[in-house]
């Protein structure tokens, strides 16, 4: 698949294990407890997945628990307010805005900010349609700076 704002192909991601069976002796309850503990220690969902893979040998949370990592976080009551991909894009946009305040003639990063905010708007529309975000939520600078403390 091609990139969104460029005419080149994307780099392929990691491949999932071929076997659908999991060679793990950990129970789903233990995995859920571990996920909640890692979230309470301040890790994001992608960091939790990396810790589970590298430290505990759990290649895929869904194959063990039959639930996604986000569902486990919701069940544990520690789900983030914003989805992680949207949070990362907003953080990137805020950093670009800070950079452009100091460097007003940086046209390349001005374009990068436009592309990033375009991705944010599209992602917000998707999350509104899927009821992850409320219908009245909007991406505004004053709203977002309060949500994200850098």
What kind and span of H or E run contains 145?
helix 141-147
Residue 96 has a CB neighbour count (10 Å cut-off) of 19
Q: How far apart are CA 79 and CA 69, in angstroms?
A: 10
pLDDT in tens, 47-79: 999 999 889 888 888 888 999 999 999 999 999
Mean pLDDT, residues 93-108: 96
Residue 90 has a CB neighbour count (10 Å cut-off) of 22
Q: How far apart are CA 63 and CA 49, in angstroms?
A: 13
Report pLDDT for 15: 74
User: What 3 state SS string does 105-138 have?
Assistant: CCHHHHHHHHHHHHHHHHHHHHHHHCCCCCCCCC
Please check whether residue 73 is in contact with residue 45, taking contact to mean a CB–CB distance below 8 angstroms: yes
pLDDT in tens, 5-51: 877 777 777 776 676 666 677 888 999 999 999 999 999 999 999 99
- Percent of the chain residues past pLDDT 90, beyond the cut: 65
Is the pLDDT at 115 greater than 50? The verdict is: yes
Domains delineated in the chain: 28-76 (no CATH), 84-147 (1.10.287.10)
Residue 31 has a CB neighbour count (10 Å cut-off) of 20
């Amino acid at each position: 698949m091609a990139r969104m704002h460029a005419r080149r192909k994307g780099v392929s991601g990691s491949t999932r294990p071929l076997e659908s069976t999991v060679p793990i002796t950990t129970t789903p309850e233990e995995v859920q407890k571990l996920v909640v503990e890692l979230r309470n220690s301040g890790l994001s969902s992608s960091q939790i997945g990396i810790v589970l893979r590298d430290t505990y040998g759990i290649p895929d949370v869904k194959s063990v628990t039959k639930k996604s990592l986000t569902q486990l976080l919701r069940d544990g009551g520690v789900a983030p307010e914003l989805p992680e991909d949207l949070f990362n894009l907003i953080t990137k946009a805020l950093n670009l805005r800070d950079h452009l305040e100091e460097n007003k003639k940086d046209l390349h990063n001005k374009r990068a900010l436009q592309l990033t905010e375009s991705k944010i708007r599209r992602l917000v529309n998707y999350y509104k349609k899927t009821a992850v975000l409320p219908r009245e939520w909007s991406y505004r600078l004053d709203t977002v700076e309060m949500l994200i403390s850098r």
